[in-house]
Structure 1
Amino acid sequence: MSGAATGSASLRPTQLLRRSRPLRALFTARLVSYAGDSLSLVALMLHVSETTGKALAVSLLLLVGDLAPSLLGPFSGALADRLNLRRLMVACELVQAAVMLVIVVTLPPLPVLLALVAIRATASQIFQPASRAAVPALVADRDLETANSTVGFGSNAAEAAGPLLAAALFPLVGLRGVLLVDAVSFLVSAVLLATLPSIPAVTQEGRQPSLLRQARSGIGYLLSVPTVRVIFLGFTAVVAFNGVDDVALLVLARDTFEVGSWAVGLLLGAVGVGLVAGYAMLSRWGTRASMPLLLIVGFGVSSLGNLLTGLAWAVAAAIALQGVRGLGLAAMDVASSTLLQRTVPPGMLGRVFGNLYGAIGVAAALSYLAGGVLLDVTSAPVTLVAAGVGGLVATGIVALRLPRAMRRKDGATTPAPTIEEIG
């Protein structure tokens, strides 16, 4: 492996980044790109809100940036398994840079803006499974936990810093300037990714199957291998129950606790602080943990955090609980990525991650809709408790099924054959 280190012990995060130039390039590229993406999202939300005066328009902006690309998950994953990962990631960043430049120059009307945002988000959706599938080619197997935690730490820290950067840049450069910074961030990311070693697709002998057939085989593989299926369904179920938390927390702060905007910001930002702290902890000590146990604990803590937030007696307690919940979300991400990278063969890894991220996006959108209805007919505390209970039930099922699935012969040790291998 290109970035593999010598020796038998896993490396610390700083050591790994220092010794593995390819991982350092991927880490820095994601850091720059995610920071730019986060600050431009804030800018576009403010722009749409000010120019239309309608909350629905902002909701549509978020929806086309999340749900629409998620529906293409099977195909975005198939592209990652079909093409050279370095070239694919560079192309995705260049497409996003071009789209942002068009927006900067034209500041188009809402329908055109939504279409451009959808294109940019689709490129981002393709990039995600490709970047996850690339990690095992950049580091030694023993360093996967540390690598996943380190990359996750950088990405989430950048996303958390994005709104702060937007607030600082707006008075200086205005809307177009902030959007231009995002476009430049994609170009910088593309240059960094171009320095990665070539990561060619793992192809089968003979003529390559069609993209549709590869996408279908990815879904079939995901549902046929017990370990992968349990991780996929468990992760999706936990998100489907708990995805409503952002909306519920806003209502909880304003209607239940009746606090000001500063407290609302702290409550909504607490989970991000917990995420960054969780990634930092796991990048340092994650190799000592059992990944299946870490996954189950992550599911449980993230769900229990919402349940207890619904029972919280004060906004300070809710803020603390959401911070702890962020630790669980970091554990979910690192454990699921590491387990899948070690379970799934390289030629199928992109499709598995593509389907996972696509399903998570759809689950989050459904959670927004169902949770919004529940919020309207009940209250924020009831909604959060219901979300937490549902997530804990899903966690319990995963805790029962995952060990059994991993013991199956056709689980982690002998992956099921793909359609390409059969035909």
Structure 2
Amino acid sequence: MLELLKDRTYIRYWLAVVASFLGDAITKITLIYVVATETSNPVLYVSLVVIAQLLPSGVLGAFVGPLADRFPARGLMVGSDLVRVALVLAMIPVRDSPLLLLVLILLTGIAKAFFETARITAIPLIVRGHSIPTAVALFQSTNHTLNLVGPALGGLLLAFGSVSAVFVIDAATFVVSAVLLGSMAVLREVPVPGPNSGRESYWKSLGTGISGVLAVPSLRFLAVILVPVMLVLGLFTTNLNSQLLSVFDLSAFNFGLAQAAFGAGCVIGALTGPPLVRRFSDRGLLIGSIVLFGVSLLLLAPTGWLRDSLGDQLGLSVVLAWCLVAGIGSGLFQVPVANTLISDLPEELRGRGVGLLNALMVNFTIVGVVLGGLAADLMGIAASIIVAGGLLLPAAAVLAAASVRNRNKTEAEAGVAS
């Protein structure tokens, strides 16, 4: 990781992404604050804001892929940053109009879908000569850290400044990102064209990309494994805060500690990933991380019992330990996913593959978020999390059995051929 941090090209790219991610995190908390305090139905509008931020990546992710395979990453990323500058500044005069604000949030989400697809597609260009798993881990740990720091910084800015000033600062982070990315010559490289790609229409290129991605066994396996995990992750994301605030009845300070413990676990999981990738196969690590995440959710049952039995201080320690373990499982899972996606995608399909699998992840996360609310109403918040964790274990067992069967079949075919 130190070698990456000494690479000037990588450092510029990393700083640009940090600025852009920080802008996203600050914008998210600011928008939630605005609609929660300045609308007549805050619960409804907060939900709409979250959906508007996620939906474009899910709906449009796959459709951005063909463009990422045809145009340099620099244009897509810088263009996305500059568009978001204009959109964030446009939120200032319409902050009192929830519907117009939601339209701007949707447009910002569309711009982010372009940025994210190009960002992930460009990673092999940036880390040439370095370890892709290490770069992935650094990005993931940075993202988890910013998800903690960004809202806290946004809250401080809202406390000591005006909402308009916060939007201006948000816009400035995207300007910084655009300037840094625009100065990187490596991002100007035109993607390597595949056979007949120059003669394909956009829709033909999209179809070719989907079939090409699913023709790669490791990516087909990844697409299957993402479905149950993202459903559970969406459910868990929805019900974690309710579990901490409503069931465990944590104070504001202790709730912050619990969120920090979960974030720290995500960072630990991400940083643990690269040495494990070197020791185990991506597929094995994927299945192992799913088992760890599922077990961590099952541990909520004894966590609740111990918290009630041990009193406030020791009980809080148990809750923080549970949040840490759940964070490790969540953060570790993302490393082999990203490594498989970047390493196994054919270069000419990289944009379409990233767009397709990213859309798959986002869409099933959204479905999980919806199911999380329904499950919490039907069986209770804690029970919904525990049941979801329990469902991951048989899913992991089935996937492990299928993986072993496919490996044995491949070895048998190789033996016959020899």
Q: SS at 1:72's partner residue?
A: helix
Amino acid at match of 2:182: A
TM-score between both structures, scaled by the size of structure 2:
0.88
Match of 2:229 among 216, 230, 238: 238
In structure 1, the residue matched to 2:337 is 336
**Residue 165 (structure 1) aligned with residue 166 (structure 2):** no
- Contact 2:266–2:327 (CA<8 Å) still a contact in 1? yes
Amino acid at match of 2:46: V
- Contact 1:22–1:195 (CA<8 Å) still a contact in 2? no
- Contact 1:226–1:408 (CA<8 Å) still a contact in 2? no
In structure 2, distance between residues paired with 1:199 and 1:309: 49
In structure 1, the residue matched to 2:386 is 385
Q: Percent identity?
A: 26
1:38 shift after superposition: 0.5
Amino acid at match of 1:32: A
Deviations 1:156-206 (A, max 9, x none): 212211011112212332211111111110110111111221231222465
In structure 1, distance between residues paired with 2:23 and 2:53: 15
Q: SS at 1:104's partner residue?
A: coil
1:405 shift after superposition: 5.2
In structure 1, distance between residues paired with 2:300 and 2:407: 33
Q: SS at 1:212's partner residue?
A: helix
Following superposition of structure 1 onto structure 2, how do residues 400-415 of structure 1 map, counting pairs within 5 Å? 400-402=401-403
Match of 1:28 among 12, 15, 20: 15
In structure 2, the residue matched to 1:371 is 372
- Contact 1:231–1:402 (CA<8 Å) still a contact in 2? no
Deviations 1:205-229 (A, max 9, x none): 6534222222222222233332101
Q: SS at 1:341's partner residue?
A: helix
Following superposition of structure 1 onto structure 2, how do residues 189-208 of structure 1 map, counting pairs within 5 Å? 189-196=177-184, 197=186, 198-204=188-194, 207-208=198-199
In structure 2, distance between residues paired with 1:108 and 1:233: 43
Match of 1:276 among 262, 267, 275: 267
Following superposition of structure 1 onto structure 2, how do residues 77-96 of structure 1 map, counting pairs within 5 Å? 77-96=65-84
Amino acid at match of 1:61: V
In structure 2, the residue matched to 1:212 is 203
Following superposition of structure 1 onto structure 2, how do residues 217-232 of structure 1 map, counting pairs within 5 Å? 217-232=208-223
Match of 1:148 among 136, 141, 144: 136
Tell me which moved more, 300-309 or 118-127: 300-309
In structure 2, the residue matched to 1:416 is none
**Unpaired runs of at least 5, structure 1:** 1-12, 410-423
Following superposition of structure 1 onto structure 2, how do residues 279-290 of structure 1 map, counting pairs within 5 Å? 279-282=270-273, 287-290=278-281
Deviations 1:248-291 (A, max 9, x none): 22332344323323333333443222112223344677545543
**Residue 262 (structure 1) aligned with residue 253 (structure 2):** yes
1:335 shift after superposition: 1.0
- Contact 2:55–2:109 (CA<8 Å) still a contact in 1? no
TM-score between both structures, scaled by the size of structure 1:
0.87
In structure 2, the residue matched to 1:121 is 109
The 3 A distance-change label for structure 1 pair 309 and 141 is: farther
In structure 1, the residue matched to 2:311 is none
Amino acid at match of 1:161: V
**Residue 362 (structure 1) aligned with residue 390 (structure 2):** no
Q: CA RMSD in A?
A: 2.2
In structure 2, distance between residues paired with 1:104 and 1:276: 34
Amino acid at match of 1:231: L
Match of 2:167 among 165, 174, 179: 179
In structure 1, distance between residues paired with 2:88 and 2:407: 44
1:403 shift after superposition: 5.3
**Unpaired runs of at least 5, structure 2:** 308-315, 411-418
In structure 1, distance between residues paired with 2:129 and 2:228: 29
Task: Decide which structure has greater helix share.
Answer: 2
The 3 A distance-change label for structure 1 pair 88 and 208 is: farther
Deviations 1:280-322 (A, max 9, x none): 3446775455433322222222222222124422254233122
1:246 shift after superposition: 2.8
Q: SS at 1:244's partner residue?
A: helix
Tell me which moved more, 255-264 or 162-171: 255-264
Match of 1:43 among 30, 39, 44: 30
1:105 shift after superposition: 4.2
